[in-house]
Each structure stands twice: as C-alpha cells, then as structure tokens.
C-alpha cells in the first residue's frame, strides 16, 4: 500500500472534461516521481510536454478515458483509443494499491463491450511488469531518440 492509507476503495468512472487538470497533474507527477527511475530527465521533459491540461483536454475528446477517485480526489487515469490502451497513470502516493488494475479492468471491459479482440499498449519501461502481470506480451521495442517504448498486446477472452 502507498504511504497514504485510503479511507475508501477507489471508484472508477468515465473521465469528464472537468477532470483534465487533475489528470494532467497525476500524469506529470507520476512521470517525475516514478518514471524518472527508468528515463533520463530530457526524455521525461519531452513526454511531459504531451500532458499539459490543454493537451489532456484535447485527448479526452478522442479517447474513452476513465479516472479513479479516492475520497473525492482523482488519483489515477487510463484510456482506450481505438484498440490501444493509453495514458495509464496513478499518482505516486496511491501506487501499488490496486488502482491501476481497477482502471485496466474498466478499459478491458469497455474493449470487450466494443467487440475488440486484441488490445495493444505502448508501455514505458516502468510499466512493462504491470502489463505483463495482466497478460500482455511484448511484440517489439521502439526507440525515439533516447525514449524506449515496449509495444505489447493482449488477446481478450
């Protein structure tokens, strides 16, 4: 469990436009606290530029996004963009508490409801073990300058 015990279980709901700022905050904090162990600062900075509140707002119009809420506060996010899982992040204070799994359960159920048979995910080095434990397998690795992405897939039952 994270350093702050949860008073209530996380609730997962569809993200709304008003969540953009909170989603941006969570992603930026996770990048700078958690992902920094696997990527150099200039890569973290480059990725972070994609998740300003304005850019998150734009992403919410083209993705089917979810948020996890604990004690009235948004603490995690995940989305589905076509057949691709995108932007799965949990606030570092709430990591390793099952929130990422609850978000992925929602994304995978949405995919099944839409008759999507296979999901892809461009995983960070940091999240590769999380996706592997959920049944995703490595398809290939991609490199964009110093940024290493592990492309993974999962066949849904």
CA atoms of 71 and 138, how far apart (whole Å): 36
**Cβ contacts of 96 within 8 Å, gap of 6 or more:** 1, 2
Share of the chain above pLDDT 70, in %: 95
- Tell me: the pLDDT tens digits for 74-84? 999 999 999 99
pTM of the model: 0.91
For domain 11-155, give the fold.
Answer: Aminopeptidase (3.40.630)
Domain boundaries, the chain: 11-155
- Tell me: the pLDDT tens digits for 44-70? 999 999 999 999 999 999 999 999 999
């Amino acid at each position: 469990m994270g350093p702050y015990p949860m008073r209530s279980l996380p609730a997962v709901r569809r993200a709304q436009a008003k969540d953009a700022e909170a989603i941006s905050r969570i992603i930026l904090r996770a990048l700078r606290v958690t992902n920094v162990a696997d990527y150099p600062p200039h890569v973290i900075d480059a990725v972070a530029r994609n998740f300003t509140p304005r850019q998150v707002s734009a992403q919410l119009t083209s993705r089917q996004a979810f948020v996890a809420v604990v004690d009235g506060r948004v603490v995690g996010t995940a989305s589905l963009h076509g057949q691709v899982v995108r932007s799965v992040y949990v606030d570092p204070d709430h990591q390793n508490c099952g929130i990422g799994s609850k978000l992925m359960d929602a994304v995978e159920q949405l995919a099944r409801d839409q008759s999507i048979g296979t999901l892809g995910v461009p995983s960070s080095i940091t999240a590769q073990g999380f996706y592997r434990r959920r049944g995703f397998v490595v398809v290939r690795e991609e490199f964009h300058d110093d940024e290493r992405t592990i492309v993974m897939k999962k066949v849904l039952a």
